[in-house]
A and B are shown apart, each in its own frame.
Chain A
């Protein structure tokens, strides 16, 4: 097989504690060596990484790919393209397809589609309950054999505490994390945004922070005796950060995630009834944003993931109450994280860790680092590249983003999966404009 030399860049690999000018040699899909610039042998192909960071391929562990069933929003192939354009080499996709990924057959179908697309690595997440109905455990073992890496009912929060308890116990047998979207359905009610001054002013029904925190507190209490690993998806409130911090201090096996939109925007983004600011959990207050950034800085929050949720224009261009929840995120993940480094002083290492080695550990993926022998998934990032996000230029099939028109700094120049270049943006153009 072929070889590839990534030369002239700065390698940032928290998994091996490396942050220095270095070249990376890739052979047969694996990292053959990382060494001082110019010290590695020539290769068949070269990537000029001068002025760039060379990162382990980014991992987005919270993505909705919509196939099977909702191909008009996104397919595995368009989602995977959106991923690599955003520098993401591995993604985990949620089970809320149609049919639901609650069987080995659907898991295999998704993996087949991903193989056909041949871009990012796709790791399916199996449903926790049959049909995401929150009643009966799905056949987790069979799905595990077919390739799932976690179980979750995600957007259909498990209201039945006994079911959640069993799910944690049972999945521990397979060493599978349980990913939870924390939302008490009675407290969240028919809410469409964060409950607070903005919802009161707009006359929109609110979802209180307590809807998330009450459910999280329940699941942490269950975890005390069930064993297994609980991964809390998209924390959105200061109270949730406090709860996870306490649980970690108690030594529970829990990890937590935050999305770029929750640490970038507040619920004031809804102020003109912008349906691209409608998602679950909802955008919260400025104090919540502050707590999320602190949680990330402290390591209470382990992972940054996009919760990429494509929706067709017809599902968003309606009255606010009627609009679908969610936004696309694969192509804004990296630039919004870099913004956090620049504007909020979060250490770059922390961000890279949250996008690489940490999600790899939660999901037990063979990725997330650049040590010799690792799979050669890497993302070459130009941190100085200024560009303007245009929703029409997104590679996702759906364009539902609140970041249209934002000036971004930093983007993936080249994305490599298994030693193969799957994305290359021309230096003269913006990251959105050229595809390989």
Chain B
């Protein structure tokens, strides 16, 4: 880990605009925090007296819970405000809601929203660090960071790996964050899915394949995406059944990849649709490691954005766990 690197970004809105060094620093910091969650008493006082507010405009159990646990293990107070976009559209605007919350002087906003760019929008208008916990089909940076940490743990590197991302590329914020990060870190990206969910623009992002087994050949990492059930009503696919016929990661499809290939999925999984139970629960699957790493990644991000000494842009990483 680089001890001299300083992380100066005020917000974490996405990975597109972060450098390779910044991304590695985030993963390194997460790695150093992981040990706290393995202790008997899973709490350090690092962010004592700090308040983190979750602003979730879209249903999310996993990401919200992960952020809440991360904040609490750092001794920050976590307050969540879940709301549906529909109730907001009747009344208060996003900006007014955010202004009201920031008037209560939180130290960080963690935001999930169904509109792409919503986190950028707020970042330009409120004076509080913002962590993008997913903005529509745009980015989901902490998901990508935990994916990267999980890959590096198992395979020892990211550079030079072939990573195949499979499924609804068009609507996937996980894909966008991962493509930006993987390419900066020197991985080869493949994108696999039906053409309706894999537009021709994707050719500029990676090697495109409409054939699962061919696309997986020689892949070191397989990232499966959750298929939103509502896509079938919009004619992106005829039926879930037909989708799974061509794009479900079964043991047979997995065998097309290298024998040491690992499988990731951001969850929640649709068993039997994009991934078979046999694979999801099998030896290649790192789905639960991802979830564990998610807490460490979010601790790292909260730490780097919130624990800023007054007048200084950067936080010092605590050595050996609790400072």
Contact = CB atoms under 8 A, between A and B. Distances in A.
Contacts of B199: 195, 200
Chain B interface category by residue count: 20 to 34
B107 interface: no
Contacts of B137: 203-204
B120 A321 contact: no
Contacts of A197: 201, 204
Interface stretch (B23-31, B111-119, B292-300): B111-119
B60 interface: no
A204 B204 contact: no
A322 B136 CA distance: 13
A322 B88 CA distance: 12
Given A318-B93, A318-B95, A204 B117 contact: yes
Contacts of B171: 203
B139 interface: yes
A197 B95 CA distance: 28
Contact of B115 (A196, A272, A321): A321
Which of B121, B137, B138, B176 has the most C-beta atoms of chain A within 10 angstroms of its own C-beta? B121
Interface residues of A, number: 16
Given A200-B199, A200-B202, A319 B118 contact: yes
A203 B136 contact: yes
A320 interface: yes
B288 interface: no
Do most interface residues of chain A lie in helix, strand or loop, or is the interface mixed? Answer: loop
B94 A321 contact: no
B120 A273 contact: yes
B231 to A, nearest CB: 14
Contacts of A273: 116-117, 120-121
B135 interface: yes
Interface in A154-205: 195-197, 200-204
Given A203-B139, A272-B120, A273-B120, A322 B115 contact: yes
Contacts of A290: none
Interface string A260-283: 000000000000110000000000
B116 A202 contact: yes
A206 B135 CA distance: 16
A320 B116 contact: yes
A201 B173 CA distance: 10
Contacts of B115: 319-322
Nearest to B137: A203
B176 A320 contact: no
B134 to A, nearest CB: 10
A433 interface: no
Nearest to B171: A203
Given A203-B135, A203-B176, A318-B94, 9 more contacts: A200-B202, A201-B176, A203-B171, A204-B116, A204-B117, A204-B136, A318-B93, A320-B117, A321-B116
15 contacts: A197-B201, A200-B202, A201-B16, A202-B116, A203-B116, A203-B136, A203-B138, A203-B176, A204-B116, A204-B138, A273-B117, A318-B95, A319-B117, A320-B116, A320-B121
Interface of B: 16, 93-95, 113, 115-118, 120-121, 135-139, 170-171, 173, 176, 199, 201-202, 204
Closest A-B pairs by Cβ, 5 of them: A203-B137, A203-B138, A273-B117, A203-B116, A200-B201
